[in-house]
Amino acid sequence: MERHDTHISTVLLAGDWAYKLKKPVVLPFLDFSSVAARRHFCEEELRLNRRTAPDLYVDVRPLSRPLDEFLRDPPAALAASQAAAATDWVLRMRRFPLGALWAERAQAGRLMPADADALAAHLAAFHAGLPPCTTAPAHGLAHWVTASLEAIAHHPDRPVWLDDRRFAAVAEALHGLLQALGPWLDARRADGHVREGHGDLHLANIVQWQGRPVAFDAIEFDADLRCIDTMNDAAFAAMDLLAHGLPKLAWRFLGAYAEALGDQAGLVGWRLWVAYRALVRAQVALLSSAAPEVLVRYWRCAEAVLAPPEPRLVLTQGPSGSGKSTVAALARDALAAQGHGVVRLRSDVERKRLHGLAPTDRGGAALYTPEATRRTYDHLQALAGTLLRAGLSVVVDAAFLRQAERDAMHRLAGEVGARFDVLVCEADPARMAERLRTRQAEGHDPSDATPQVLAHQLDTAEPLPTDWAGCCHPLRNDGSLDALQAQVQAQLAV
């Protein structure tokens, strides 16, 4: 048997099982002092976590014999214990292997881009299936931000490097965001974005289980901490990826999550939520006497997101099959590596969304009329403006074959003070046509383009203006992915 303790629970690992007991403690944010309370919160933990991890969470069982006898009995015999005689309660879970936690995988360099996509899909499906919280929590976000700040400010082990000046800078920035975003946060609640989510989505609460990421160990002891904005919930995982030095995965995940729900506008609160989540982990690091570098990691993460670089607006430009989607993803990664919060917007996905279709649904001619195209580009411009004004950089994956479409984005960049770049994607026409045929056969791409569409685009595309030479960057996409990546990074280098 192995034993693992936190400040509120004990987990015993025996064979294929994990047995979790609540400690009889009273803290400012929970009360596990009675047997009845520990039973209730074991049952709450089972209920909440079976939503995301039904294979891991098995049952809650009464403990009415010495613990060593309880653990020696086979699982079938455990159910014979009588609740009336219980001296405590045990949550039974399936045990997962060492190294399966995402925190462990991040430290070992074993998290891949496909993992970020899978986590985004997992959390988007979870949040989409939740009803809105109909009653306001007793304590809102401002309360919890203040509580975390005060806990850190007055902790006896607060390190010397976290002096009053450095602490005040983060506190003032957070309170300023809370005030500025207050009406927007209220509107999000009114629109149904506050739901009973997970509440504690750091990387140690995500496990790779049967080949896919699974969120577990949701907060059971305080509904206020889990009845939150869904984007706030997801931002916790993004923050921890950032804090672990994985900015490309962080923004790949958060962008894919927002795109899956059609909630890119929810990223307006990204600085507040990511910084708050870093603050929470900094507080936990102090409470649990973690290694000093853990507190440093999370405090620096909060400081970085509260003072992001000036935003950039990057467009792809070129016909179908020229590699725009690949270039857009590489551009997002390059900007993320430079410290930008960055989101990719895809015209093929948003065009389908405007017509009530899933990304890989096949649309007819009605999706590609001049009016439908105008509507798509107007939507992309509006989303880009919202995100840029929130301090995010934006990469727009679209053809931009008409100068009027480019001009509108150029004006937007000027209005918000964002640097403007166009990545011009070029490739051999025969190779572009072959890519489109392969893509059609596979059926996984949002684009509906065919070789016939490509031929029409090549005949009708409007040239880029000659006076844009300083912001237009040709990329040749006939070689390897590594060669293309090197071109993108060189063109977007600071």
DSSP 196: E
Q: Which residues of 254-267 are buried (b: 16+ CB within 10 A; e: fewer)?
A: bbbbbbbbebbbbb
Q: Any residues with CB less than 8 A from the CB of 335 and at least 6 apart, and which?
A: 312, 314, 342, 393, 395, 492
Q: Are residues 281 and 429 in the same domain?
A: no
Are both 332 and 408 inside the same structural domain?
A: yes
Would the pLDDT of 345 be above 90?
Answer: yes
Tokens 């020696």 belong to residue: 72
pTM: 0.94
The DSSP H or E segment spanning 473 is: strand 472-476
| pLDDT over threshold 80, residue 82 | no
What percent of the chain lies above the pLDDT cut of 70?
98
The tens digit of pLDDT for each residue in 227-271 reads 999 999 999 999 999 999 999 999 999 999 999 999 999 999 999
Query: In this predicted structure, what is the pLDDT of residue 350?
Result: 96
Question: Residues 127-149: what's their mean pLDDT?
Answer: 91
State whether 444 and 466 are in the same domain: yes
Report pLDDT for 138.
73
Q: Which amino acid is at 222?
A: D
Portion of the chain with pLDDT greater than 90, in percent: 85
Min mean pLDDT across 13-17, 77-81, 183-187, 334-338 is at 77-81
pLDDT at 451: 93
Short-list 423, 439, 160, 238, CA closest to 321: 439
Model pLDDT for residues 33-58, shown as the tens digit of each residue: 999 999 999 999 999 999 999 999 99
Contact in structure between 41 and 221 (CB atoms under 8 Å): yes
Per this entry, what is the length of the chain? 494
Mean pLDDT (whole number) for 215-222? 95
Q: Tens digits of per-residue pLDDT, 267-286?
A: 999 999 999 999 999 999 98
Mean pLDDT, residues 103-114 taken together: 97
C-alpha separations of 473 from 39, 267, 315, 424 in Å = 63, 28, 10, 6
Mean pLDDT of 51-77: 82
Residues 341 and 393 in one domain: yes
Q: For residue 71, give its domain range.
A: 2-94
Instruction: Please compute the mean of the pLDDT values over residues 454-458 and round it to a whole number.
Output: 94
Confidence (pLDDT) at 272: 97
Averaged pLDDT of the chain: 93
The domain boundary, picked from 94, 111, 139, lies at 94
What interhelical angle do 164-190 and 141-153 show, nearest 10? 170
Spatial separation of the C-alpha atoms in residues 475 and 488, rounded to whole Å: 7
Among 306, 336, 364, residue at a domain's last position? 306
Residues 154 and 218 in one domain: yes
| Per-residue pLDDT, 289 | 82
pLDDT value of residue 65: 79
Same domain, 277 and 327: no
Domains identified in the chain, total number: 3
Q: What is the pLDDT of residue 410?
A: 97
Q: Residue range 300-315: average pLDDT?
A: 97
Name the residue among 115, 104, 93 with its Cα closest to residue 204: 104
**What are the residues facing 30 on neighbouring strands?**
27
The pLDDT-based confidence of 364 (bands split at 50, 70, 90) is confident
Confidence (pLDDT) at 76: 56
Whether residues 425 and 329 share a domain: the answer is yes
What integer pLDDT is reported at residue 67 of this predicted model? 80
- Judge if 55 and 155 occupy the same domain: no
Q: What is the pLDDT, as a whole number, of residue 66?
A: 82
Beta strand segments in 105-209, E: 194-196, 206-209
Torsion 317-321-326-329 (CA) sign: positive
Say if residue 75's pLDDT is above 70.
Answer: no
Indicate whether 393 and 429 sit together in one domain.
yes
Q: What is the CATH number of the domain that holds 193?
A: 3.90.1200.10
Answer whether residue 81 shows pLDDT above 80: no
Same domain, 245 and 107: yes
**Same domain flag for 48 and 131:** no
Please identify, among 94, 125, 160, the residue that sits at the C-terminal boundary of a domain: 94
79 and 134 both lie in a single domain: no
